[in-house]
Amino acid sequence: MAIIRDPNGLNAAEVTDKGRLLVLASQEPIRTTAAKNGDSYIAYFLVTYTNAANTGLAYIKNNDTQGRSLIITNYFPFYGSTTGGSGDALLSFYKNPESGGGTIISGALPAIVSNTDFQSSKTVNIDAFVGNGSTSTFGTAIGIPLAVNPNDNRNFETPTILPLGASIGFGWQPPTGNTSQYIAFLISFYMEE
């Protein structure tokens, strides 16, 4: 068995008599590596709905100056009970809704975006806007709206890749008859290495 040594003279790898390379390695999720490098973020959107109309909830566009992709890993909708409403709410996803945009873009209420590495001073170059009853021209629907029961807050683990210039929008339609419902919507993402 041949041994490959590193510059300090320590064994770095071994080659078996069958030509296989043996090394010691460790593995961690890409998301963890991104967090350690200060490239992992959470965007937070808080909206109170006073009707049952389908309106813009959240909007994110990747403007990264280094041309990296924005990788969304999870969506977390947390919502309160409805006043006056009954039935399920609907959560919709839209691809590239910036064409025309509606007031979710022109009104530009910024979302809160935080780096998940509390020692990092890095920021991310994105547009992240909160709906709060604003309109949206949405764009191309991604699938059908998801019926969401008010007692069933959940985590959607849905990796979504936004290359430079791409965007995603989210719509929320409270239960029929709603006069008041809040939703806190979190999007967990990192910038590609």
Ordered DSSP codes for 19-75: S-EE-------HHHHHHHTT-EEEEEEEEEESS---EEEEEEEE--TT-PPEEEEEE
| Residues 2-24: tens digit of each pLDDT | 776 666 767 777 888 888 888 77
Enumerate the domain spans of the chain. 1-36, 41-191
Q: What Cα–Cα distance (Å) separates residue 123 from each residue in 30, 39, 69, 109?
A: 19, 8, 15, 18
Residue 126: both structure tokens together: 């994105």
Contact 149, 60 (CB under 8 A): no
Please say if the pLDDT value at position 190 is more than 80: yes
Q: Which of 78-82, 172-176, 185-189 has the lowest mean pLDDT?
A: 78-82
What DSSP state is assigned to residue 111? P
What pLDDT score was predicted for residue 23? 79
The pLDDT value given to residue 166: 93
For residue 147, list its beta bridge partners.
Answer: 90
According to CATH, the topology of domain 41-191 is Jelly Rolls (2.60.120)
**Predicted local distance difference test score (pLDDT) of residue 127:** 92
pLDDT (0 to 100) of residue 57: 87
List residues bridging with 169 in a β-sheet. 59, 94
Q: pLDDT tier at 188 (50, 70, 90 boundaries)?
A: very high
Asked if 128 and 111 touch (Cβ cutoff 8 Å), the reply is yes
**Higher local confidence (pLDDT), 108 or 182:** 182
pLDDT value for 107 = 66
More confident residue, 19 or 120: 120
The reported pLDDT for the residue numbered 170 is 87
Give the least confident one: 20-29, 31-40, 115-124: 20-29
pTM of the predicted structure, to 2 decimals: 0.80
Helices (H), 18-169: 30-36, 103-106
* In contact, 169 and 100? CB cutoff 8 Å: no
- Count Cβ atoms below 10 Å from residue 86 Cβ, excluding itself: 11
Mean pLDDT within 135-146: 67
The 10s digit of each residue's pLDDT in 68-113 is 999 999 998 888 888 999 888 888 888 887 655 555 666 668 899 9
